[in-house]
Amino acid sequence: MSIYSFSKVIALMGLILGTASGCTTAATLDTVTPAVVAPVSEKSASIVVDGSTGAVLYQANADLPRVPASLTKMMTLYMTFEAMQAGRISKATTMPVSAHAASQAPSKLGIKPGQTIDVDTAIKAIVVKSANDVAAALAEYLGGTEEQFAAQMTAKARQLGMRGTNFHNASGLPDPQQITTARDMALLGLALRRHFPQQYYYFGTQDFVYNGKLIRGHNRVLAQLNGADGIKTGYVRASGFNIVTSISDHGRQLVAVVMGGETAKKRDAQVVSLVNAYLPQVASR
CA atoms within a 13 Å half-sphere pointing along the CA-CB vector of 170: 31
What is the rounded average pLDDT of the residues 110-129? Answer: 97
Considering the candidates 70, 98, 171, 239, report the single residue annotated as catalytic. Answer: 70
| pLDDT surpasses 60 at 50 | yes
Answer whether residue 63 shows pLDDT above 50.
Answer: yes
Length of the chain: 285
Could you report the per-residue pLDDT of 218-248, keeping only the tens digit for each?
Answer: 898 998 998 999 999 999 999 999 999 999 9
Q: Is 73 a catalytic residue?
A: yes
7 is catalytic: no
**What's residue 144's pLDDT?**
97
Tell me what pLDDT residue 285 has.
Answer: 59
Q: How confident is the model at residue 89 (pLDDT cuts 50, 70, 90)?
A: very high
State the distance between the two ends of the chain, measured CA to CA, in whole angstroms.
20
Cβ density class 53-92: b for 16+ within 10 Å, e for less: ebbbbbbbbbbbebbbbbbbbbbbbbbbbbbbeeeebeee
Long-range Cβ contact pairs of 17-23 (< 8 A, separation 24 or more): 17/161, 17/163, 17/183, 17/187, 19/55, 19/56, 19/59, 21/59, 21/61, 21/62, 21/63, 21/64, 21/183, 22/59, 22/60, 22/61, 23/59, 23/60, 23/61
| Residue of 2, 53, 3 lying closest to 28 (CA atoms) | 53
Rounded to whole angstroms, the Cα distance separating 159 from 168 reads 17
* Topology adopted by domain 3-281: Beta-lactamase (3.40.710)
Q: When comparing pLDDT for 24 and 49, which is higher?
A: 49
* Contact predicate 45/181, CB 8 Å: yes
pLDDT at 4 over 70: no
41 band by pLDDT with thresholds 50, 70 and 90? low
Backbone angles phi, psi at 265, to 5 degrees: -65, -45
- Concerning whether 70 is annotated as a catalytic residue, the answer is yes
- Please state the separation of Cα 124 from the chain's center in Å: 14
Mean pLDDT, rounded, for 5-30: 37
Cis amide linkage into residue 215, ω under 30° from 0: no
CB 138 within 8 A of CB 174: no
Which of 44, 130, 239, 246 is flagged as catalytic?
130
Residue spans per domain, the chain: 3-281
pTM here is 0.86
- 124 labelled ligand-binding: no
For residue 36, pLDDT over 50 is answered with: no
**pLDDT tens-digit map of 249-273:** 988 999 999 999 999 999 999 999 9
- Per-residue pLDDT for 26 more than 60? no
The answer, yes or no, to whether residue 19 has pLDDT greater than 60, is no
Share of the chain above pLDDT 90, in %: 81
Catalytic residue among 43, 44, 46, 73: 73
Alpha-carbon distances of 60 from 43, 101, 178, rounded to whole Å: 11, 36, 21
Q: What percent of the chain has pLDDT over 70?
A: 85
Give the per-residue pLDDT at 27.
30
| Tens of pLDDT, residues 174-190 | 999 999 999 999 999 99
